[in-house]
Amino acid sequence: GTRKIVDDVFDKINKAEASIYVADHPVGLHLEVEKIRKLLEAGSSDAISMIGIHGMGGVGKSTLARAVYNLHTDHFDDSCFLQNVREESNRHGLKRLQSILLSQILKKEINLASEQQGTSMIKNKLKGKKVLLVLDDVDEHKQLQAIVGKSVWSESEFGTRLVLIITTRDKQLLTSY
């Protein structure tokens, strides 16, 4: 009764606080968000849905990804928006990105010994959950591999629903993955 209501309200407050700033004047954004929503609905029975948003710098890829993330995060058990993947991995390494993801999902500070440990831990900790991941500004395969693994997890391995949204300037990166 009352405990369930309190938990629901607390959950909504936490999710509202976790929403990401989108833009001051997002002209035409709702049309693009609607296209992605339809793609997500079409693939809702798949174990894994990957949506790529590509284009040159400054066209609004990240803004679109943030809007979609905010709109859908409460439909998932866990969600994480990894911003500036290219810059973060160049500056701090892939292990740092993995730690950020795991810390957000597990809601506690995670320090990893290696990238291999990170990839394995991500796979194990997300098993059996419905998860939304956004990887913003990806420019190399190794960044995807560090988060998602060498190949996309099969339904039997993962046992869950993973929605992966990737923004990149490199269309080839999406088609080859």
Name, in order, each residue with C-beta under 8 angstroms of 32's C-beta and a sequence gap of 6 or more.
60, 64, 67
DSSP code, position 154: P
How far is CA 167 from each of CA 48, 109, 129, 155, rounded to the nearest angstrom? 17, 26, 23, 24
pLDDT tens, residue by residue, 2-47: 556 545 544 544 444 455 655 555 556 778 888 888 887 776 777 7
Distance between the two ends of the chain, CA-based, in angstroms?
47
Rounded-to-integer distance, Cα 98 and Cα 145, Å = 11
DSSP code, position 34: H
Give counts: helices (H), strands (E), the chain.
9, 4
Tokens of 147: 């988060």
Span 1-174: which CATH code? 3.40.50.300
Rounded-to-integer distance, Cα 172 and Cα 139, Å = 10
Name the average pLDDT for the chain: 80
pLDDT tens, residue by residue, 96-130: 999 999 999 899 999 999 999 998 899 888 888 88
| Domain parsing of the chain, residue ranges | 1-174
Pair type for strands 78-82 and 161-168? unpaired
